[in-house]
Amino acid sequence: TVFWSTSQGSLAQPTTVTDADGRTSNTVTTTGAGAVVVTASVPTEDEFVGASFTFTHNAGLASLPGLPVNEASVAEALDAACAALAGVGPLDPGQQDLVDQCQALAIASGSDPVAVNDALGEMLPDVAQTQADAGKVAAGAQFDNLNNRMMVLRSGAPVGPVSFSGLGLVMMGGRLPLADFGNALLSAAPGETFEPGADFGRWGLFLSGNIGRGEADPTRLTPRYDFDVEGLTAGADYRFSDRLVGGVALGYTRQDTELAGGQGSVDTEGLSLSFYGTWYRDNDWYLDGVLTLARNRFDQVRRIQYVLPGEVVDQRATADSSGTDLGTTLTFGRDFSLRGWTLGAYGRLAYTHQRFDAFEEQVDASLPGAGLALRVDERALDGFTTTLGGKATYAHSASWGVVLPYAELEWVQEHGDGAETFRGFFLDDPTRTPIRVLGDGLDSRYFRAGLGLSMVLGHGRSGFVAYDRIVARSGFSNQTLTLGLRWEF
């Protein structure tokens, strides 16, 4: 019989019995990182002399029980880096700090495993997880501006002279126009009308803008954050025939993303070039197409903040990076009139390809945590979305104007798992052991519903109120109330 004991952890069995070959084994589960001493003793019995054997094992941070998958990946990278640096000569400040963090985590692992878990979570590149969503929102804002323009073209409104589609509210679920103030300033005087092809021929110019706010709830693997976004689109189009219009547009997007609790931020600026076209028949079938190329720049800050026995870290890791987006959208549908009603049904196919350049973080070398700067590898994401929608508008005429209430509903499905995965490593890690960061995809099937009321009054006055929300999307909610007014002078 062999008696077992350990200095740190728990044994599967306190005693074991040797087999016919005189061999036996046991399993120890560590409760913290650092050296684990296991002793196996055989007592003196009859003519057999007792003996004792001691085994020493250096348990790594990755062996801590209950670590989430992303934090476990950070722990594995720290174990590899610090083991490699232990056998190296003089260390530079970043390498020495990395060793110091490993030692502080190992000391705290036995007494405060929750603090160790939190510290490992602080080392994750959370801000990089928001880049993909920032790119999607920017692309969506530009598409909404162009989609609004094509709707105007199909409505029979004149192509020229100049159209301002106005401001809109952009959330994670979509965009709603706020007002059409540019048209009000440049519209014709009362009683005057523009004829297609008159004065300005077949060419048309437009300017659209949007502003918005949104937020994403935290998931098991991704952080909570909110954002503000502003977009501007200017373009020119040409009417090839009464049924076909094509154009080109330039877009600018600015977005500020803030992680909850002051844990980081991403400021995004992007420029885009779009080609678009619409083919339609009055109150009948139509087909819209958009192709967009965009280049985005990301300025990001990651806060690294934790407290361990003998170690307090409060660092700001900064980085600049870029990315490109390619998106194409095809919408097909039909509108038809019925006793004052305009009813429409449509389907949409959308494909996006996002590529993010690699980046390296900068930290303050004079502060604790100087060895925690990361390099995040280049990565690419592909997305495919299908949408089915319908809209009903009713025109009611009165002596004082026209009232147009409407309702719309879309069913959206995002194909693929939607979860982003990328890799990085500590810049001061000589082994460059990868940190694999996994993300949680949002619910891929949901509805978008909207209600609104437009009014066209006398003397060039008009306005509307609209309500829009995402419905039945697990872990995400969004709703918008919008008011708009328009005057002609």
CATH number, domain with residue 410: 2.40.128.130
Which of 11, 38, 59 terminates a domain? The answer is 59
Are 171 and 259 within one domain?
yes
Shared domain check, 243 and 319: yes
Query: Could you tell me which residues come within 8 angstroms of residue 185 by beta carbon, excluding any fewer than 6 positions away?
Result: 164, 489
Query: Within a domain: residue 236?
Result: yes
Is the alpha carbon torsion for 134, 119, 80, 366 positive or negative? Answer: positive
Residue 175 lies in a domain: yes
Residue 36: what pLDDT? 62
Cβ pair 377, 435 in contact under 8 A: no
CA separation for the pair 459, 191 (Å, rounded): 10
Six-digit token string for 139: 């692309």
User: What is the count of structural domains for the chain?
Assistant: 2
Q: Look up tokens 């995965």; give the residue.
A: 421
Inside any domain, residue 442: yes
- Alpha carbons within 13 angstroms on the beta-carbon side of residue 432 total 4
Among the candidates 21, 42, 59, a domain finishes at 59
Beta pairing class for 203-216 and 162-166: parallel
Q: Find the domain containing 18 and state its range.
A: 2-59
Instruction: Check whether residue 11 and residue 140 sit in a common domain.
Output: no
Instruction: Give the whole-angstrom CA distance, residue 292 versus residue 171.
Output: 20
> Are 50 and 157 contained in the same domain?
no
What is the pLDDT tens value at each position of the chain, 489 positions in all? 888 787 666 778 888 888 888 788 887 766 555 556 678 888 877 666 777 877 655 567 888 888 999 999 999 999 999 888 886 778 899 999 999 999 899 888 878 889 999 999 999 998 887 887 777 777 777 777 677 667 656 654 444 444 444 444 444 444 444 444 334 333 434 444 434 444 345 887 777 777 777 788 888 888 888 888 787 888 888 989 888 999 999 999 998 999 988 899 999 999 999 999 999 987 689 999 999 999 999 999 999 999 998 899 999 999 999 999 999 999 999 988 888 888 999 999 999 999 999 999 999 999 999 999 999 999 998 999 999 999 998 888 888 888 888 899 999 998 876 667 889 999 999 999 999 998 877 778 899 898 888 777 766 565 667 777 878 877 766 666 665 554 443
Single pTM value for the model: 0.74
Among residues 59, 83, 103, the one where a domain terminates is 59
Q: 366 in a domain, yes or no? A: yes
CA distance 469 to 478: 5
Q: Are 43 and 135 members of one domain?
A: no
Residue 255 sits in the same domain as residue 175: yes
Contact yes or no for 310/296 (Cβ under 8 A)? no
- Buried/exposed 236-274: b ≥16 CB within 10 Å, e otherwise: ebebeeeeebebebebbbebebbbeeebbbbbbebebeb
Looking at the fold, whether 468 and 390 belong to one and the same domain comes out as yes
Does any domain span residue 339?
A: yes
113 inside domain? no
User: Are residues 150 and 37 both part of a single domain?
Assistant: no
- How far apart CA 356 and CA 296 sit, in angstroms, is 9
Q: Is 66 inside any structural domain?
A: no
Is 69 a domain residue?
Answer: no
Same domain assignment for residues 138 and 40:
no
Q: What is the pLDDT of residue 60?
A: 76
Indicate if 265 and 147 belong to the same structural domain.
yes
| Residue 174: predicted pLDDT | 45
Same domain, 49 and 177: no
Q: Are residues 285 and 412 in the same domain?
A: yes
